[in-house]
Amino acid sequence: MDVHKPRRWHGLREFLQEYLIIVIGVLTALGAEQAASALHDRTIADEARESIRAEVRENLWWMERRASRQPCIRQRLDEIGDVLDRARHGRPYPTPQQIGRASHSKLTSLRWEANAQAGRASLFTTQEQRSLGNMYYTTDQFRQAQDAEEEAWSKLQAIDGLDRLTPSEIDQFAVLLAQARYDAWLIDGGIKRGRQWAAVMRLKADNPNQFEYPNGVTAPEACVSISAPPATPSRDTP
């Protein structure tokens, strides 16, 4: 077995040459490693960004769908208010037949949470993180208002078929009506803020799973009166 003894340097100049070669080699290796790591991080960030932005676009689609149905929701709430006002003053009113329920928006944050917990969202710029944080805060507030609204509407449905209301029932339904109106107002605000942050991030509403509602976001639907016969088709309030 041959053993190569270290070669003796002949002078300081030869030593510096050898030293420079070693230093350049180490720095080159470190630079290549850093470049590979940066490329990997950039790829991971791009994949995470596209996944999250797709989720935001879908959320915006559902919010726009709700926005297109807000006029009908307000109309029905006004009808309920008119019934309670007439009943409170002893005047006849059209018997409610189908209160219905508020339109449901399927807002999710699963992709954002998964990427944030995995540390991939930290690869985004500070502005991106701020914008996404504000967008998801907006959709979370929207979702909370929607949950409260759905509970109020489910209790309001008890008025269906009541052609007479006691003072106690009028007061109870009036409280529920006030809650439903407040929740609808919160949802209105969420839609406006969602549009503002969408403009900042240059995103537009889009849902690749539109088979759920093939007619699109703003497809016109008849706004059925709450006093219409139950036979009238009604999937949700709009």
Q: What is the pTM of this model?
A: 0.78
Given this model, what pLDDT does residue 83 score?
97
> What is the model's pLDDT at position 234?
47
Neighbours of 7 (CB within 10 A): 8
Token code pair at residue 108: 């999710």
Contact (CB, 8 A) for 52 and 132: yes
Give average pLDDT by consecutive 10-residue segment, the chain, 238 residues: 56 64 65 57 83 95 95 96 96 93 92 91 91 96 97 96 95 97 97 96 85 55 85 51
Question: CA–CA distance from 231 to each of 30, 131, 224 (Å)?
Answer: 74, 46, 11
Domain chopping of the chain, boundaries: 12-212
